Structure 1
């Protein structure tokens, strides 16, 4: 049986909105044997959260502070990011980390902080899904180093090469979605991993994995007290720590990481 890998996963809110502090936590996580350090990607959150850090700059700090752990945004809603910018950011961060970047992607949601409606971003799920797929097409082409020609419904790239390329042929992409939803499963099957969010029972995971196929990473986020054996039996390959965002603290993350991976 494949060993279950373990990653710290937390929002960059309030006490954790300090990049230098997160970089120190990432270095400690590496020291204590964790396999990854992943962070949420949000522009704001509902009260009582007030401070929110940028994930890309924070991950750059974490990349410099570590040598082994995988890092990445988990997940970034590509519909509110320009794919050209993400192509540059991901390649740069992947090279800075010597090939340790994993890109988590999804639709995102407006209901936790009005991240779409308050900034005039697209709120329709179907249109955001189309923007997500189009962005992923552009990213795959950009990472290849070839000249990109893309004329889609939402984005245009007219004969541009994106150099330097990532360290490896491509950056792993994990696709998030609600359990049982077919579109994220199909999207994940075209990429490298599947992250069913708000997973409440291992049977939900087993049903999704049966539709997913083989050879992909399967990611579950569960509290530390959870018996993970049924999730591993259902197909999980990664476990992510699950923190409550409204009262996240440095001490809570440090306490979790020092308990060690599963």
Structure 2
């Protein structure tokens, strides 16, 4: 099974002071895709520079030619399907059809209360996510949409001429629970996971691999129930959140071992963080670039 290697570039650099150079370099290194987080701020980066995802991706689209681009991930925390669909349609046009929308239910971080709302319960988050994805799918595939919803509504909304990619740009649905996996099976062209968060602090790499294997099996069952072949979906692992943390990026051999074990589970794309000094993603830039250019060839 072939494996793709992608990166995620956090939006922490001013565009003309290193941002543009990173995205162009990602293309030069041969990554399949480069993603960015869609947050208003995030964890330990909250008090430092942090730019908007969609303007950053628009700039990246004009600075690159071949690299796929996307969010990893967008959530309903501060987005509405109507405005998001218009921006995504435009971004897909600017990029000439190179956009993937990573989309998830969101968490309880800063974004969850930034607009003044109370944090949603897990059930509320799942309810909103289901309605959000379904409406966004319609908005990106129909010229005109009217849809009264419980949480999100559209009234005579036009999205003409639609996406460059047909019938719409691909959704990469982040999910581990049953409701999210059903959404991935119904609407996704890809599925995204970061592993089992319960194992991050005290779990072992072996336990993580077993948990990820279980997630892949559950995805397969959800696809079977939806009448889809699970092989139709790309399976994306965003690294840095398993018990291994950044150890797979310490050497090419370490990454090849890590990637091989996860390819055996059925993953088709592995995403590694572009190094950010003095952060949880501080890794050696030279080793990172060797992984980008050498690792897949060693996997065969």
State the TM-score, normalizing by the size of structure 1.
Answer: 0.87
Q: Which residue pairs with 1:166 in the alignment?
A: 163
Cα deviation code 1:165-224 (max 9, x no counterpart): 11021111111134xx22222121111111112446222222122222311010112242
C-alpha RMSD over aligned residues: 2.5
Q: Which residue of 2 aligns with 1:236?
A: 267
Q: 1:80 aligns with which of 67, 78, 81?
A: 78
* Alpha-carbon distance, 1:117 to partner: 2.4
Residue 119 of structure 1: aligned partner: 115
In the TM superposition, residue 254 of structure 1 has moved relative to its aligned partner by: 5.3
1:38-85 C-alpha deviation (Å, 9 max, x unpaired): 011111234464221101111111111111111011001124201111
Distance of aligned partners of 1:206 and 1:198 in 2 relative to their CA distance in 1, 3 Å threshold? closer
Structure 2 counterpart of 1:184: 180
Which of 15, 22, 32 aligns to 1:19? It is 15
Cα distance per residue 1:103-138 (max 9 Å; x no partner): 011122224xx2222432352132222222222222
SS at the partner of 1:123?
coil
Structure 2 unaligned runs (5+)?
197-204, 221-229, 240-245, 296-300
Choose the corresponding residue for 1:207, options 204, 211, 214: 214
Larger radius of gyration: 2
2:242 maps to: none
- Count of paired positions: 254
Q: Distance in 2 between matches of 1:129 and 1:246?
A: 35
Aligned counterpart for 1:34 among listed residues 26, 31, 36: 31
TM-score normalised to structure 2 length = 0.77
Change (3 A) 1:255 1:138: farther
Identify which range, 98-107 or 72-81, moves more after superposition: 72-81
Q: Tell me, what secondary structure is at the counterpart of 2:51?
A: coil
Structure 1 residue 88: Cα displacement: 0.7
